[in-house]
Every structure is written in C-alpha cells, then in structure tokens.
Amino acid sequence: MPEPKPLYVLNGPNLNLLGTREPHIYGHATLADIEAACAQRAADLGRGIVFRQSNIEGQLVDWLQEARDKAGAVVLNAGAYTHTSVALHDAIKAIGVPVIETHLSNPATREEFRHVSLVGQAAKGVIAGFGAMSYLLAIEAAALLANEIESPRA
C-alpha cells in the first residue's frame, strides 16, 4: 500500500498576522497555533500535513499546482484572494485534487465585497465561520475525501 499523501493547508494574505489581526473577528490563535492543531488532527487521522502561508497570489497558484501530484486534498484559506482571484479559481479547476475553501470568519455575514467567492465557485466545498475550528473541520473533510480517492469503494 502506498503511503497516504499529505493534506496541504495553504494560507493566503495577512493570515501570518493572526493572533493580533482584528482578534474580534479572527480570534486570538496564531497561525503557528493553527498549524500545530491541524498537524495533530491530521496525525490522529493517519495523515501528515504541508502547511504554508504566502501574501503572494502567484505563490499560492504554484503551491496548488504542486498539490496536483503530491497532496491527498487541499485546505485553502485564500484570505482576500478568495473574492478576487480568477488565477486561484483556474488553478483549483486545473489540479483535480479536492480543495476545501476554509475561513475563520463567515464572509456571508460580513461586507458585501466578501459575498462573492471565486475560490468557492471552483472548490469542492466550503467551511467558514467557526474560528480556528474551521481548519480542524476542514482537515477532517480533507482526510475523508483523500481516503475516498485513495481507496475507492467498489
């Protein structure tokens, strides 16, 4: 049996500032706290993770392309690029690996410009509004999807 592929957890702009960034919206957990919690939950489910953050749109596109062969599934919090990036939308469609759009806050309850998600229009599904717990729910969904792909039922 081949090793289960890792779950990629990709984070977009300004998420490096978690912990101090608008804590009334995003909570007090830092990105390092979230990484540790994701690694633990994924390990409980028999998977490793690759956890990354960039403020640069093209870097996120490169990582999505890398995930095409290397990831079992992708948890993507694209931050503000969620609402603007045709490039991320196209990359998600191109790679054929399930991508779970993930947000700490619930963009549907916030400003109107956050109500459109170009990422969500290409993603397998969306988990939003649970604070840092959104990532753990997304890891669970990602692990289940990866299991289905790697060991399809007859």
Burial degree of 25 (CB within 10 A; 0-12, 13-18, 19+)? exposed
Closest contact distance (angstroms) between CB of 104 and ligand DQA is 4
Closest contact distance (angstroms) between CB of 42 and ligand DQA is 19
Q: Is 26 a catalytic residue?
A: yes
Torsion of the alpha carbons at 129, 114, 141 and 135, rounded to the nearest 10: -50
Q: Is the CB of 5 or the CB of 103 nearer to ligand DQA?
A: 103
Q: Is 103 a catalytic residue?
A: yes
Active-site option among 81, 89, 103, 135: 103
Q: Is the CB of 79 or the CB of 120 nearer to ligand DQA?
A: 79
Active-site option among 8, 26, 81, 135: 26
Catalytic residues: 26, 103
